[in-house]
Chain A
Amino acid sequence: MAKKTLNIVESAYRAVMEEQDDTILWVLAAMHSAGADHTVVLRANAVNYAVAGQAAPALAVGEWRQTQPPRMDRDLTDLMEKRSIPVFVIAEDLSDRGIASSELIPGVRLLPRAALPALCAEYAVVSHW
């Protein structure tokens, strides 16, 4: 049985255009396919990944065209729906950025900052990315 792992993700929009996804969420999904038991907490700027309706424009350089630009809201939905990975977002980090909970994709759960220590206690492994 895999170790229950809580992944607190801070990094956001770093290489999403070049990789067509977020490298942290990607590796968590790939590890899940290999049997890992993951939960994700989005904090800091990564809370913006939960905003519905993101659509990065495709990059174009001369005649070269990107055809699969990233969709971070879709990737989060895939984590929750296809892989049953729970996704939390830190509530205060949303409000600091002027993001209302009504702007989020369905399925993400709000987590007050003060509740994070108790959540950590439920997991065998806690990682910060």
Chain B
Amino acid sequence: MASYLLIESRDPFDSNDVQFTTELATGLAQAGNTVTVLLVQNGVLPARAGAKADGLVALLNAGVTVLADDFSLVERGIAPARLRPGVTPAPIDVVLDHMAAGHKTLWH
């Protein structure tokens, strides 16, 4: 089984196509792969506790690790304490860790 990093720069309020990442990530996880989704840019907007975020809930329920880019959070005034449980802030270096480890890395 492989490891994947999916970088989600879009948000469900602006783009129905975030469903692509949700479906791909959950499908990969259900097939036994190790999957991480990193939310960046406006992709972090559904990560606020209380936000409408069905896709994010599906990811967490599927065992996908969900990270949120710390820079994008600060830029939008979202403190770590305001995040939905299960979403963890992460530095951009996490992308390099995955790439250096040879994990398949996709940007959406």
Interface check B107, CB cutoff 8 A:
no
Please count how many residues in chain B sit with their CB below 8 Å of the partner chain's CB atoms: 18
Near A by CB (< 8 A), chain B positions 17-65 give 41-42, 45-46, 48-52
Is B52 within 8 A of A13, CB to CB?
A: no
Q: When the two chains form the complex, which single residue of A45, A51, A103 contacts B11, counting CB atoms closer than 8 Å?
A: A45
Q: Which residues of B contact A (CB under 8 A)?
A: 11, 13-14, 41-42, 45-46, 48-52, 71, 74-77, 82
Interface Cβ pair total, 8 Å cutoff:
52
Please count how many residues in chain A sit with their CB below 8 Å of the partner chain's CB atoms: 21
> Which 4 residue pairs spanning A and B have beta carbons closest together?
A98-B50, A98-B51, A98-B48, A54-B77
Q: Which residues of A contact B (CB under 8 A)?
A: 12-13, 16-17, 44-45, 48, 51-57, 73, 93, 96-99, 103
Q: When the two chains form the complex, which single residue of B42, B49, B51 contacts A12, counting CB atoms closer than 8 Å?
A: B42
